[in-house]
Amino acid sequence: MTTNGNGTNGNEHEKGEELLAEGQAMLDAGVEGITGNVSGSGPSPESEPGSVVAGEVAPPPAKLTKADFVSGQEVRWCPGCGDYAILNNVQKVMPELGIPREKIVFVSGIGCSSRFPYYMNTYGFHSIHGRAPAVATGIKASNPDLSVWVITGDGDALSIGGNHFIHAIRRNLDLNYILFNNRIYGLTKGQYSPTSEFGKNTKSTPMGVIDYPLNPLSVAIASEATFVARSIDIDVKHLGTMVEAAARHKGVSFVEVYQNCNIFNDHAFDHFAERTVRSERVLYLEHGKPMVFGKERDKGIRMNGAHPEVVKLGENGITEDDLLVHDIYLADPSVAFMLARMEYREGTDFPQPVGIFRAVERATYEDLMAGQIAASIAKQGAGSLEKLINSGDTWVVE
């Protein structure tokens, strides 16, 4: 008995020839198609559910559910962390987008939020501190068909990553950018971050923060973001709506989420986000509607010259017709920037705005780049890498 190089019986060669002959016979008969299970689990008998018989059209794929986007990784955030709510909402929204999982990529930097790609059953990239936008830019530019998400925190995005943050936004890449803002460095155990309040006592500022905080929405709008929104981790329904709206926007979409770090900055947003006071102190921005807020829906925002002011409906003949009507499609970002600067503070009348601040259309970076490449090829031909390398002055080292 003879054996071949891999130790199998020589009869395997004869079996291989028989299979090859069968395959050729199918081709000769004009049969097109592949026998196998569409789920990718390998060949299956014709009677197996989900199998595709050669020559038949494959059935449409089953609609994905939230469970399809839950990875097998243990979620390792502190119990009670606001990150859980954000993860849950993103996993719930994903099936509604109708995008195959192999077309989705989550990219993160460093921080508690940056564990996110491990928990999504999609492609993912855990990059380095502050550089997630650079990695995401490369992914989107090289494969524009992908749905690319950047997951970051206030320290990761606005400190070491500030430059990358600004330029990814101004280029208007079709990226979905979610910033978890807990106003603290959580992973490194409680140092102040670029969004920490002035005067705040932390482990690294025992006498109080003397840096003035960055406003993430202000930075995004000043960088010409085409979609800007804000939500709160515990406002589950609203958060899901913002994530889905961002995903459907063509161009860069930036969503800031107020996220509670219950270990190092607990109750940071309770003064306006806690359920019992939220309706009185949060302004939900709705396109095409006057800016009304308050538990009794009796307060509103109107313009007094160039400045906004809070008014009470019914007093001095004030009605909703006197209020500022929200328009997310304004080309001029001035009003969106003004709203981004508005915030609730103890002893003041202004509410904390959440919702979509701006959503405008502009050509995306990857589309403009593809257009330049196509125009160059049409004008000069496809080109040759070898010719390019050997063009101009060359040297031979012997």
What is the pTM assigned to this prediction? 0.82
Q: What is the pLDDT along the chain (398 residues), one digit of tens a residue?
A: 333 434 444 444 444 445 444 444 443 444 333 333 333 334 333 434 444 556 667 666 678 999 999 999 999 999 999 999 999 999 999 999 999 999 999 999 999 999 999 999 999 999 999 999 999 999 999 999 999 999 999 999 999 999 999 999 999 999 999 999 999 999 988 899 999 999 999 999 999 999 999 999 999 999 999 999 999 999 999 999 999 999 999 999 999 999 999 999 999 999 999 999 999 999 999 999 999 999 999 999 999 999 999 999 999 999 999 999 999 999 999 999 999 999 999 888 999 999 999 999 999 999 999 999 999 999 989 888 888 888 888 888 98
**Domains in the chain: ranges and CATH:** 11-52 (no CATH), 66-287+328-359 (3.40.50.970), 290-325 (no CATH)
Per residue, the 3-state secondary structure of the chain, as one string, reads CCECCCCCECHHHHHHHHHHHHHHHHHHCCCCCCCEECCCCCCCCCCCCCEECCCCCCCCCCCCCHHHHECCCCCCCCCCCCHHHHHHHHHHHHHHHCCCHHHEEEEECCCHHHHHHHHECCEEEECCCCCHHHHHHHHHHHCCCCEEEEEEEHHHHHHHCHHHHHHHHHCCCCEEEEEEECCCECCCCCECCCCCCCCCCECCECCCCCCCCCCHHHHHHHCCCCEEEEEECCCHHHHHHHHHHHHHCCCCEEEEEECCECCCECCCCHHHHCHHHHHHHEEEECCCCECEECCCCCEEEEEECCEEEEEECCHHHCCHHHCCECCCCCCCCHHHHHHHHCCCCCCCCCCEEEEEEEECCCCCHHHHHHHHHHHHHHHHCCCCHHHHHCCCCCCCCC
